[in-house]
């Protein structure tokens, strides 16, 4: 060519020159439009994925009849999906669902917002997010947050409420229409809604796997308000005295449920007949080789100690013994082999000085000193497995494992 110049036409119609002597292009052509979505010599997998994405975008744009002010069904935009938001924020009729619903909502917000920030996929019409979208943390298209929450709420209602068949069908239909409405509004692609449905079901399954029903929540609240009422762990369950009551509760660790609760009739509570150190110790539960015991006092026994053996399964009283020892004068008490041992106090020179045998229904005074290094001995209990006494001593846990007690 003249002047050793070769003319080449770029994609925008302009021309550039290339000096054959230099062997390099002054103007490098940019990529062709087709190369934005598809690589040269793509694999079958790449062709399939790109084809599905193209179909998804095309169908989503065609179905977005309510998108913008000029859409064929733009007047329907005022209907939107407000019922979905109303149902989500309306208190559910079952009281126990509040904690689970809040946890599921937080999980959904964090997961959806994180995935949207990571993928950053625009909607089929690329509308800028509105104020409510920022509030709901739904600024991008993938995944569809409304679809995720609609499925999650529907599954909660279906799983925890007894509903007639027509209502169950309506719930399924409602969740489906929430997702469809997002496509009609041009906010999301079909694939976004589908992934939102799957994500909502996954969130429900995760929350359901750690679900706590109302009885378990009440138990945890009761445990949180024990104010150190005596409790004991025995055969895979925890037994404790419900705060400010004469009710004994059995909480089963294997099922995470309250399996039994029963009142100790006439037993004093709320610091009526506590140990001398106080601490809401009116009803003291303990175990030994013979099983589960309750130590308390009643008005009928003039405030003296009553000892009852309990059935660990039903909490029914198997047998009771009345003693002549005032409950408020006892520092602490524990059971060993069917014998109740009582200390003379909790501070200073503490010793075990009173023993009542359930085998013979007799008592005796003894003299077994206890080391009281920190001058405040409380919560003294016997462990039949290692045959040792455990106690709290002014914030220190102490162990007595060489006691000469028979």
Residues 275-308 pLDDT 10s: 998 888 999 999 999 999 999 999 999 999 999 9
Are 304 and 324 within 8 A, CB to CB? yes
- What residues form DSSP beta bridges with 319? 309
Catalytic annotation on 146? yes
pLDDT winner (highest mean) among 58-72, 162-176, 385-399: 385-399
Q: What is the mean pLDDT of residues 151-160?
A: 79
pLDDT in tens, 71-86: 554 454 444 444 333 3
Give the total residue count for the chain: 406
Give CA 299 to chain center in angstroms: 43
- What are the domain boundaries of the chain? 71-209, 214-400
- For residue 391, the SS3 value is strand
Alpha-carbon gap, residue 148 to 151, rounded angstroms:
5
Alpha-carbon gap, residue 203 to 151, rounded angstroms:
9
Q: What pLDDT does residue 275 have?
A: 93
Q: What is the mean pLDDT of residues 226-246?
A: 83
Task: Check pLDDT > 60 for residue 226.
Answer: no
**Phi-psi category of 8—alpha, beta or left, where left has phi over 0 and alpha has psi -120 to 50?**
beta
What is the percentage of the chain residues whose pLDDT exceeds 90? 30
Alpha-carbon gap, residue 333 to 275, rounded angstroms:
9
pLDDT winner (highest mean) among 113-127, 188-202, 239-253: 239-253
pLDDT winner (highest mean) among 201-205, 277-281, 355-359, 370-374: 355-359
The two tokens of residue 275 are 């140990």
Catalytic choice (70, 89, 98, 146): 146
The CATH topology of domain 214-400 is Thrombin, subunit H (2.40.10)
DSSP string, 139-187: -SSSS-HHHHHHHHHHHHHHHHS---HHHHHHHHHHHHHHHHHHHHTTS
Q: Return the closest-CA partner of residue 112 out of 177, 31, 203, 206.
A: 203
Q: What is the mean pLDDT of residues 184-200?
A: 77
Give CA 190 to chain center in angstroms: 32
| 8-state DSSP, 127 | P
Q: Return the closest-CA partner of residue 362 out of 308, 323, 325, 389.
A: 323
pLDDT in tens, 314-365: 999 999 999 999 999 999 999 999 999 999 999 888 999 999 999 999 999 9
More confident site: 16 or 177 = 177
Catalytic annotation on 203? no
Q: What pLDDT does residue 168 have?
A: 84
Catalytic choice (160, 188, 189, 280): 188
Are 275 and 327 within 8 A, CB to CB? yes
Structure confidence at residue 65 as a pLDDT band (50, 70, 90): low
* pTM for this entry: 0.50
Task: Check pLDDT > 80 for residue 378.
Answer: yes
- For residue 3, the SS3 value is helix
- What residues form DSSP beta bridges with 351? 369
| 8-state DSSP, 214 | H
Structure confidence at residue 195 as a pLDDT band (50, 70, 90): confident
Q: If you compute the radius of gyration of the chain from its CA atoms, what whole number of angstroms results?
A: 37
Residue 324 neighbours by CB under 8 Å, 6+ apart? 304, 363
Task: Check pLDDT > 80 for residue 116.
Answer: no
The two tokens of residue 331 are 């520092």
Tell me the C-alpha to C-alpha distance, in Å, between residue 249 and each of 99, 271, 315. Answer: 23, 19, 8
- For residue 71, the SS3 value is coil
| 8-state DSSP, 271 | S
């Amino acid at each position: 060519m003249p002047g050793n110049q070769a003319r080449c036409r770029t994609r925008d119609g302009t021309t550039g020159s290339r000096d054959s002597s230099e062997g390099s292009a002054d103007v490098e052509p940019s990529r062709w439009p087709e190369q934005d979505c598809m690589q040269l010599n793509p694999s079958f997998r790449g062709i399939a994925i790109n084809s599905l994405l193209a179909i998804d975008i095309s169908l989503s744009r065609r179905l977005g009849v309510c998108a913008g002010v000029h859409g064929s069904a733009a007047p329907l935009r005022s209907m939107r999906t407000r019922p979905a938001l109303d149902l989500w924020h309306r208190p559910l009729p079952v009281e126990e669902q509040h904690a689970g619903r809040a946890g599921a909502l937080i999980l959904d917000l964090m997961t959806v917002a994180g995935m949207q920030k990571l993928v950053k996929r625009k909607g089929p019409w690329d509308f800028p997010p509105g104020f409510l979208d920022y509030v709901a943390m739904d600024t991008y298209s993938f995944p569809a947050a409304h679809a995720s929450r609609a499925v999650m709420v529907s599954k909660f209602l279906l799983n925890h409420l007894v509903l007639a068949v027509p209502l169950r069908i309506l719930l399924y239909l409602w969740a489906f229409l929430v997702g469809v409405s997002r496509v009609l509004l041009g906010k999301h692609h079909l694939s976004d809604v589908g992934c939102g449905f799957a994500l909502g079901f996954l969130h429900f399954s995760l929350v359901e796997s750690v679900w706590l029903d109302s009885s378990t929540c009440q138990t945890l609240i009761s445990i949180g308000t024990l104010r150190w009422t005596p409790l004991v762990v025995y055969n895979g369950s925890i037994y404790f005295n419900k705060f400010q009551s004469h009710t004994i509760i059995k909480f089963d660790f294997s099922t995470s449920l309250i399996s039994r609760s029963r009142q100790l009739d006439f037993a004093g509570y709320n610091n009526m007949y506590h140990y001398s150190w106080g601490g809401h110790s009116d009803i003291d539960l303990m175990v030994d080789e013979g099983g589960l015991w309750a130590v308390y006092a009643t008005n009928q026994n003039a405030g003296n100690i009553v000892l009852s053996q309990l059935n660990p399964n039903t909490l029914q009283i198997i047998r009771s013994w009345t003693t002549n020892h005032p409950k408020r004068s006892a520092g602490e008490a524990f059971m060993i082999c069917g014998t109740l041992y009582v200390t003379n106090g909790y501070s200073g020179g503490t010793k075990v000085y009173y023993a009542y045998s359930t085998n013979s229904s007799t008592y005796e005074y003894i003299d077994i000193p206890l080391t009281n290094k920190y001058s405040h001995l409380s919560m003294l209990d016997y462990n039949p497995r290692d045959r040792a006494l455990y106690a709290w001593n002014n914030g220190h846990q102490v162990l007595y494992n060489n006691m000469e007690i028979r």
